[in-house]
Structure 1
Amino acid sequence: MLSMLKRWLAGAPPLPEGWAEKSLATLPLLAVDLELTSLDVREAQITSAGWVEGRGSHIDISRCFYSVVRTRADLAQSPVIHGLTGADIAQGAHIKEVLEQLVGYAGTHLWVCHNANLDLSVLQAALSAQQISCPPVVVLDTLKLAVYQLKKHHEVLPPNSATLAVCRQRLGLPAAPAHNALDDAMATLQLWFAQNQVLNGGKVVSVGDLLHTQAISCKKMEKN
């Protein structure tokens, strides 16, 4: 209890009751990725979503999801970057259908994202627009974990040193297909497995043991 209080006083994000003690080896994981029309949270719209479940150091490919999402927003460079054309988007699922499936994992799974601030902020706006209630999400951000590890060796981070592709390459992971939501979700989960091995080796650690890295946080999905 004293250890948890010290972490909280040091500015660690508060977690729902009982989460700090959960073992990362047994906790169900959900790697989530969104493809967006923009990197500006204020105007970004979701064009596709993908997620995959895992546990420990294993990915359960039988429990994955991918869907293109309909939107009337300007696609900008999305067709070039993500390969999704206007025709693809027009045949996509309604955003509400996708969100209703995704919120079922909130509160039960540790979500794993690369750049969680972006994806979860866009999700929060989409949930609010669709009037869908969602419990707080406990998330592990592989980008923030990469930054934590890089700062041990660099006062100033090298350019693009925390992108998903570069993080994977630095840890010896093979190149993975990019700019597809499901491929990126799988690549992110693999990255976490490699980061965990480097950071913790074979030790059994809890969610609370990673609070000092600032890669673990709890995101309230209800807009004020």
Structure 2
Amino acid sequence: MFGLFQSKPKPTGALAQMPPWPAPSTPLDQLNLLAVDIETTGFDAKRDHLISIGWVPINGGEIQLSGAGYTVVKSEHTVGESATIHQLTDAMVAQGLEQQAALEAFLAALESRVLLAHFASLETSFLDVLCQKYFNAPLRAPVVDTFALERRHMERMGTYPRGEDLRLARVRERYGLPWYGNHNALSDALACAELYLALRVHTKANTLKALHNSQP
């Protein structure tokens, strides 16, 4: 019974120092985002491990490559068969940046921005685990998901997509965007950033709140 009245955990360290997130009323033309992609050893954030992270900022309607970042994240665990996907070996991961330092670099890039990702629940689940581990609380940043935006767009057009139809490379192909190699966190973050700008053309939303509330 008393658990119902327990306060939420208070963030510490770099997470506690984050400035306010963009307001829901922020116009899209003024909205700053950070396109993010991660590579992991699997899909379960409680069991598997984040081994690289890449990010690319977007200011309003412009990609800012000067602010892009990428790091391999150190892990004492083997990458196993996942190496065939992301091409990161045990030796490369063993020499990566310490988890907390990598997380702090990412949080610095995310300051005052919305997190942008393709099928964002993967990114947020792993980042929440690391934030809880080092800073006592989940990330809880506002999120824009290009996977969800494209699904809604297709449904508005009377097309009901299957899983393969919503893969990042397949969606980019439909919008005439160039092909990039998959499963590199930096190039996938850039691919997501470009897709977001293409998707904006097809939405009537003009604020962050409207973008979240858009329905098929």
Q: 1:58 to 1:213 in 2, by over 3 A?
A: same
TM-score (norm 1): 0.80
- CA positional deviation for 1:129: 1.7
Q: Secondary structure at the match of 2:33?
A: strand
2:214 — aligned with what? Answer: 213
**Secondary structure at 2:58's aligned position in 1?**
strand
Deviations 1:168-219 (CA, angstroms, capped at 9, x unpaired): 011111111211101010000000000001224xxx81112212237xxxxx
Aligned residue runs from structure 1 range 109-128, under 5 A: 109-128=113-132
Partner Cα distance (1:43, 1:34) in 2: 16
Letter in 1 for 2:120: A
Supply the AA of the counterpart residue of 1:211: H
Q: Is the 8 A contact 2:31 2:60 kept in 1?
A: yes
Q: Which has the higher strand share?
A: 1
Q: Deviations over 1:25-61 (max 9, x none)?
A: 1122211111011012331211101111121222111
CA distance in 2, matches of 1:129, 1:79: 25
State the aligned residue count: 196
Q: Percent identity?
A: 30
The Cα of 1:63 is off from its aligned counterpart by 0.7
Contact preservation (8 Å) 2:35, 2:116: yes
Alignment correspondent of 1:28: 32
| TM-score normalized with structure 2 length | 0.83
Q: 1:159 to 1:64 in 2, by over 3 A?
A: closer
Q: Give the direction of change, closer, same or farther, for the CA distance of 1:159–1:28 in structure 2 (3 Å limit).
A: closer
Q: Which amino acid aligns with 2:45?
A: V
In the alignment, residue 116 of structure 1 is paired with which amino acid?
A: A
Cα distance change on mapping 1:106 and 1:18 into 2, 3 Å: closer
Contact 2:37–2:188, Cα closer than 8 Å, also in 1: yes
The structure 1 residue matched to 2:69, chosen from 51, 65, 69, is: 65
> What is the RMSD of the two structures over their aligned residues, measured on CA atoms?
2.2
Give 5+ residue unaligned stretches, structure 2: 1-19
| Maintained 8 Å contact 2:57/2:63 | yes
2:84 aligns to what? 80
CA distance in 2, matches of 1:17, 1:28: 10
Q: Select the residue among 124, 144, 150 that pairs with 1:146.
A: 150
Following TM superposition, by how much is the alpha carbon of 1:103 offset from its aligned partner in structure 2, in angstroms? 2.1
Deviation of 1:73 after TM superposition, in Å, equals 2.6
Superposition deviation, residue 118 in structure 1: 1.2
